[in-house]
Amino acid sequence: MSDDAPDWTCSGCGRAVEETTPEKRTPCLHCGSLARTAHVTVTETVSVTTYLKTRAKHRDGGTKVLRDITEGDDYHRKTGKWNLMRRVIDRANNWYEEIFRDRDSGAIVHHTAEPLTEHKKPKPD
Ligand SMILES: [Zn+2]
């Protein structure tokens, strides 16, 4: 019996039945029904990769954003890979931090941490 052979049940009463061929089919011992239902379990391995990016802005009562945190998946054009990134812009503490990790290995591929005032210009990499 192979893995994808269906399990048969009686369509009338739902009891498991031995199914031979439709021609040799005998009425169900329990309800007399000739109808059969085949149950095939199909296991599919679906590889779904979801990319997510969240951005959280922290305000202290007022309208001024004190902390801006972006984290999630980031596509790196240079390597053609998706990285996990976390960027924190902390205006209250004048701090800028950026960490990029390899999605597969978790290794840090890029890390920047510096006072926000020194991060005015994006650096060419
Ligand atoms: Zn039956």
Cα-Cα-Cα-Cα dihedral sign, residues 54, 55, 59, 62: negative
**pLDDT range class, residue 51, cuts 50, 70, 90:** low
Query: Which residues are in the CB-under-5-Å shell of ion ligand 1?
Result: 10, 12-13, 28, 30-31, 33
Q: How far is CA 3 from CA 8, 10, 13, 36, 85, in A?
A: 14, 20, 25, 19, 43
Report whether pLDDT(45) > 50: yes
CB hemisphere CA count around 93 (13 angstroms): 11
The arithmetic mean of pLDDT across residues 27-34, rounded, is: 89
Distance from Cα 29 to the centre of ligand 1, integer Å: 6
Task: Specify which residues 7 forms β-bridges with.
Answer: 39
The confidence score (pLDDT) of residue 4 equals: 61
pLDDT category of residue 2 using cuts at 50, 70 and 90: very low
* pLDDT value of residue 71: 85
What's the CA-to-centroid distance between 23 and ligand 1, angstroms? 17
Close Cβ partners of 97 (under 8 Å, ≥ 6 residues apart)? 86, 87, 88, 90, 112, 113, 114
pLDDT digits (tens, 9 = 90+) for 78-88: 878 888 899 99
Q: What is the mean pLDDT of residues 96-102?
A: 93
Average pLDDT of the chain, as a whole number: 80
Cα 50 to ligand 1 centre (Å): 45
How many angstroms does the Cα of residue 20 sit away from the middle of ligand 1?
15
Mean pLDDT of 44-56: 63
Residue 86: its pLDDT value, please? 92
Domain boundaries along the sequence of the chain = 1-45, 53-118
